[in-house]
Structure 1
Amino acid sequence: MSKRTTIVLAVLNAALLGFILLYEQGTLSTSDVARRSGQVLRRFVRERVDHVELIRDEDAPIVFDRERTEDDELGDSLGTWTLTAPVESAADDDAVDSLLSALEWLDARRTLEGVADEDRARMGLDEPRFVVRFRVMDEEVALRIGGEAPTGDGVYAAVDGEDRAYVVGTDFVESIDHDVDHFRDKDLFAGFYGTDARQITLGGGVPELRFERDGVWRVRAPVRGWADASKVDRLLRGLRDLRATRFLDERPDDLGPYGLDTPWRALTVTRAEGETATLLVGEPCGEHADERYARAATDEDGEGPVVCVRASDVQMLELDPESVRATSLLTLGDDAIERVEVGALTLRRGETTWELQVGEGEPSPADDAAIAAWLGALRDARVRRFEPVDGEPGHGLGSPTATVTFHRSDDDQTLVLHLGEVDADGAWVRRGDEEALTLYDAAVADALRPTPLRFRARQLVSLEPGDARSLGIEAGSAAGIEAGGLTERATRGEGGTWTLEAPSSMEADRVVVRDIARRLATLAAERFVAEAPAAEHGLRSPSRVVTARFEPAEEGGEPTDLRLAFGAETVEGTYARLDEGPVFIASAELVDAVERSLASLDALTVPIEDLTSIRLERGPEQTELTRDGTTWQLAGGGTPNPDRTRALLDRLSTLRASRVLTHGAQDASLASPPLRVVATRRDGSTVSLSFGPEITQDGEALVPARRDGVPVTYGFRPELLESILDFAP
């Protein structure tokens, strides 16, 4: 084969391939049809259908056309369906989607082959109840729906050009048996958004109410002031969501019959670009008393048809001019605020948290919760009275005593609150350049004059609890530390064991010490009270002082010394002060923790593994148990009750006191105790425990107890000692 022949064949192949591709662009492929086998409309490939006609009896055809843009062709969008006859309108997406789905998945309950002309006439297919025509690519297909099958299992259907008929379900008829209104887009203002609205006018059968926006919404008539943004948003949202319940007159010559020539309400919204949307609402809609006549108009679409809308959907148009002004002191949400300035105080939103700066000082972390609570309090404050501004503002607002400036996150204009006179009537405030003065409760004055302390971060200490090296607790009398009280001091050894050094030398309670160390290392104020203590705080003669030293484990780390003083109690907790810092409220849990003694509460525990005997002395009466291998026997012979013996041994080995009663000399009640327990070890040494008569302390019943050689008297709850105090062999 010559080179020239090869070139000619290649050109012919390319031309043939181009023809095939061009042809298939305008026709259905065999694979498209194959995928539809088993369906009545085998050529209904949904994504390729671009034209549908629905004909019901004598009604004018309802025509849908799909519009595709270049972007739709390139992307995943299938385009937009519109109604083109008998009216031109946007189509209801849900209604059209339902129709297309019914056509796409139409299946036959029975298939009748070889249908003759007389059969078609008998089936009602010559004069069908419905005809659905659709265009797929360049191909036209028509579906006819005839009468009911005598078997009662459906209705007859046929596709033009086929010699067969089908029986299909009556549910298909229900899905297509709709008038044109069903397929129309019910949204009266589809595509009109009020996010950039700049003016709203509401009139009709009421005095004109006018809103304008320049950073904030303002009422301009018939009253003046800041507008309630929620009510403005409700107007805009109501307009955007308004839907027709029925369509009445496409191009009315006379609006009078509908009450739209002198409407009940007339709403006009003007956007920043000058585009307008107008809604007229008239009389109740004929026999439908819960609906009203309405007509919508936009610059883009012109005047729409007269429709009916639900009366409940236009209730937002019933506005009392006296209720449309904003009553909240602060009209911004937390997220809309970037920075707040109050005199020399600045609050600034950081990447994750708020920062506090005073004057030219360095920024420090602020308490997010405190800022949120403050903003919430400003937002919750409500106007008690409005007074119009006429010339120079009165009530001290010509020279305000405090000014709070809120800088917005969206770079819109700032929001400024000015505080004027504060008297028995309340606090006078002017919100920015509002054309009205507002009166609030007097408590608002304190909120508009916050101190840095209000926003200070409540976290006072951030250390590692494991770095604690020493703890001291100085407990005073009712007159305070200076009157003389008990001092406890514990230190941590190299092995991590805590030892009590004062007032006695003994093991410290590891549970109590670790709990106090953890609370001090993560100390946080419940609330700050004052920069410096006052007499009512009780900190000049504190009831308790806790000292601690934390030394980082890493080499070169600087130690941290803490001094925490506790003062008078308050309903919220206890006044406290860390070093020379501000006065704050300490939590009840912290106070309870530091009121416990550092002495070990396990000092009376008796390990039983090395014991050879246990003697219980009740005055002249004695009961002695001796170990015989792994069992216990009575010293005088016999076997003690095993359950009571086991309970006695278990309790002795797990004794943990409820509290420390006293340090130092033994209490007189324990000189001749009602019960004394003497345990002897294998090496001959003994452990002696004395249990005194029951007492009451702070409303709690306790049994005092002491161990020989330990200078501490402990208190136990009586029920904890039952297996010891009531032991009988």
Structure 2
Amino acid sequence: MSWRKTLIFGAILLALAVFYYLYEVRYLGQKQEVQKRAKKIFTLKKEEVRGIYLRIEGKEFEIQRQKEDWVIKKPLVARGDEETIERLLEDLLQAEQKRALGEEESLEAFGLLSPRAEVVLKGQQREEAIFIGDENPAQTAVYAMREGKREVFLLSLQHWFQIDKKLYDLRDKTILSFDLQKVKGVEVSYRGNKVQVKKQGQGWRMTFPLEARADNDAVKRLLEGLKNGRIKKFVDESPKDLRFYGLLPPHAEVWIEVKGIKKGIRFGRINSRKEGVYAQVAGTKNVFLVDVSVVHFLPKGAYDWRDKEIFSFDNTQVA
């Protein structure tokens, strides 16, 4: 084969390669990306979203991003559950139309004349909203449409399950917020009996009602129970009589010292259904329920938190 034919074949192969790249890779890739974006329910980027509005079965929830935290603004002002809200936002941003049904004249047939839910993502410059209606006959999706349009589409039922939230789901359920590693002191009052411990090195030392080594595991169990436990139920946002909940005076109190600042929580009586114990964080109004196991970690007196080892030594040093 002459060099001229080789050059011609090379040029043809190069042209085919360029065609393949331009058509198969760039053009089709861009086309698929456009089609994927068109199926997306929301086009805002995660970092653009500053607020979420939900109206579900007539109940409204307004959530705002404040610095790095989510805060509920409606129907009350409270810290949001970061994990739940982040998961909800990510699911909304990933949601796609399951199937487009086109523009419909009768929205009533899809439950969209009076939709069961409305979802709004609020950015700094714009908002995006959808309305959600009834389930489809196969019960695999819900009918939905964007605000200002009459095109109806199917939204997977799994996305509806993420949207269908109660106030409890959205609200922060932390019993008492503190850094476990930075606690320097703990004071517990249980039915008139007071016990105080202070951090000493890697362990704890009892300072009241007597000076003695404290049971490190017992102190740790209480702190972990308060840190990792979750509120079971929000009972009363503005209680008129704390005596009804056994919180005036409280049955027990816990005060935790972190960086010179004290945080406290009060415990009252067990509720009538035996679901948990009424509690209230010091400096706040609302009353909530916590699991009775948290109260079980409270020392009833000095003996419960006193170190009961007769001798304390390192087994590795014994010959």
TM-score tier, shorter chain, comes to 0.7 to 0.9
Counterpart of 1:312 (choices 262, 285, 293) is 293
CA distance in 2, matches of 1:42, 1:53: 14
Name the aligned partner's letter for residue 268 of structure 2: G
Report the 3-state secondary structure (helix = DSSP H, G, I; strand = E; otherwise coil) of the residue aligned with 2:306.
Answer: coil
Instruction: Give yes or no for contact 1:247–1:306 (8 Å, CA) kept in 2.
Output: yes
Counterpart of 2:276 (choices 282, 291, 294) is 291
Q: 1:105 to 1:264 in 2, by over 3 A?
A: same
Name the aligned partner's letter for residue 89 of structure 2: L
Name the aligned partner's letter for residue 140 of structure 1: E
CA distance in 2, matches of 1:40, 1:140: 15
- Normalised to the residue count of structure 1, the TM-score between the two structures is 0.37
- Residue 249 of structure 1, CA deviation: 1.5
Instruction: Give yes or no for contact 1:223–1:322 (8 Å, CA) kept in 2.
Output: no
Name the aligned partner's letter for residue 372 of structure 1: T
Pairing of 1:190-229 with structure 2 (within 5 A): 190=177, 192-213=178-199, 217-229=204-216
CA distance in 1, matches of 2:230, 2:258: 21
Q: What corresponds to 2:63 in structure 1?
A: 64
- Residue 204 of structure 1, CA deviation: 3.4
2:111 matches 1:124: yes
Pairing of 1:461-472 with structure 2 (within 5 A): none
Structure showing the higher helix proportion among its residues = 2
Q: 1:42 to 1:173 in 2, by over 3 A?
A: closer
- Residue 49 of structure 1, CA deviation: 1.5
Instruction: Give yes or no for contact 1:39–1:105 (8 Å, CA) kept in 2.
Output: no
Q: What corresponds to 2:97 in structure 1?
A: 108
Q: What corresponds to 1:281 in structure 2?
A: 267
- Residue 331 of structure 1, CA deviation: 5.7
- Write the deviation string for residues 23-71 of structure 1: whole angstroms up to 9, x where unpaired: xxxxxxx99x948525341424223222110111222x21121233xxx
Q: What corresponds to 2:128 in structure 1?
A: 141
- Residue 205 of structure 1, CA deviation: 1.9
CA distance in 2, matches of 1:322, 1:151: 63
Gaps of 5+ in 1: 1-29, 69-78, 335-370, 375-453, 455-729
Q: 1:296 to 1:39 in 2, by over 3 A?
A: farther
2:316 matches 1:372: yes
Name the aligned partner's letter for residue 188 of structure 2: L
Pairing of 1:537-556 with structure 2 (within 5 A): none
2:79 matches 1:90: yes
- Residue 141 of structure 1, CA deviation: 1.3
CA distance in 1, matches of 2:35, 2:286: 43
Q: 1:167 to 1:195 in 2, by over 3 A?
A: closer
CA distance in 1, matches of 2:140, 2:221: 51
Q: 1:82 to 1:39 in 2, by over 3 A?
A: farther
Report the 3-state secondary structure (helix = DSSP H, G, I; strand = E; otherwise coil) of the residue aligned with 1:37.
Answer: helix
Q: What corresponds to 1:185 in structure 2?
A: 172
CA distance in 2, matches of 1:167, 1:218: 62
CA distance in 2, matches of 1:34, 1:331: 70
CA distance in 1, matches of 2:35, 2:100: 19
Q: 1:42 to 1:231 in 2, by over 3 A?
A: closer
CA distance in 2, matches of 1:152, 1:254: 47
CA distance in 1, matches of 2:71, 2:34: 30
CA distance in 1, matches of 2:258, 2:204: 13
Pairing of 1:481-500 with structure 2 (within 5 A): none
CA distance in 2, matches of 1:52, 1:317: 40
Pairing of 1:256-655 with structure 2 (within 5 A): 256-273=243-260, 275-287=261-273, 289-297=274-282, 302-303=283-284, 305-328=286-309, 372-374=316-318
- Normalised to the residue count of structure 2, the TM-score between the two structures is 0.79
Name the aligned partner's letter for residue 146 of structure 1: G
Gaps of 5+ in 2: 1-29
Q: 1:170 to 1:305 in 2, by over 3 A?
A: same
CA distance in 1, matches of 2:149, 2:172: 35
Instruction: Give yes or no for contact 2:42–2:128 (8 Å, CA) kept in 1.
Output: no
Q: Which 4+ stretches in 1 moved above 6 angstroms? A: none
Q: 1:256 to 1:164 in 2, by over 3 A?
A: same
CA distance in 2, matches of 1:305, 1:123: 41
CA distance in 2, matches of 1:293, 1:152: 40
- Write the deviation string for residues 648-686 of structure 1: whole angstroms up to 9, x where unpaired: xxxxxxxxxxxxxxxxxxxxxxxxxxxxxxxxxxxxxxx
Report the 3-state secondary structure (helix = DSSP H, G, I; strand = E; otherwise coil) of the residue aligned with 1:327.
Answer: coil
Q: 1:180 to 1:257 in 2, by over 3 A?
A: same
Q: 1:197 to 1:104 in 2, by over 3 A?
A: closer
Q: What corresponds to 1:247 in structure 2?
A: 234
CA distance in 2, matches of 1:107, 1:134: 15
Report the 3-state secondary structure (helix = DSSP H, G, I; strand = E; otherwise coil) of the residue aligned with 2:284.
Answer: strand
Instruction: Give yes or no for contact 1:202–1:208 (8 Å, CA) kept in 2.
Output: yes
Instruction: Give yes or no for contact 1:155–1:170 (8 Å, CA) kept in 2.
Output: yes
Q: 1:314 to 1:45 in 2, by over 3 A?
A: same
Q: What corresponds to 2:53 in structure 1?
A: 53
CA distance in 2, matches of 1:219, 1:35: 67
- Residue 237 of structure 1, CA deviation: 2.2
The number of aligned residues is 288
- Residue 319 of structure 1, CA deviation: 3.9
Name the aligned partner's letter for residue 51 of structure 2: H
Instruction: Give yes or no for contact 1:284–1:292 (8 Å, CA) kept in 2.
Output: yes
Instruction: Give yes or no for contact 1:295–1:307 (8 Å, CA) kept in 2.
Output: yes
Name the aligned partner's letter for residue 88 of structure 1: V
Report the 3-state secondary structure (helix = DSSP H, G, I; strand = E; otherwise coil) of the residue aligned with 2:130.
Answer: strand
Larger Rg, first or second structure (1 or 2): 1
Report the 3-state secondary structure (helix = DSSP H, G, I; strand = E; otherwise coil) of the residue aligned with 1:253.
Answer: coil
Q: What corresponds to 2:223 in structure 1?
A: 236
Q: What corresponds to 2:151 in structure 1?
A: 164
CA distance in 2, matches of 1:168, 1:144: 11
- Residue 296 of structure 1, CA deviation: 1.6
Pairwise CA RMSD of aligned residues?
Answer: 2.8
Instruction: Give yes or no for contact 2:51–2:123 (8 Å, CA) kept in 1.
Output: yes
Q: What corresponds to 1:39 in structure 2?
A: 39
Instruction: Give yes or no for contact 1:36–1:42 (8 Å, CA) kept in 2.
Output: no
Report the 3-state secondary structure (helix = DSSP H, G, I; strand = E; otherwise coil) of the residue aligned with 1:234.
Answer: helix
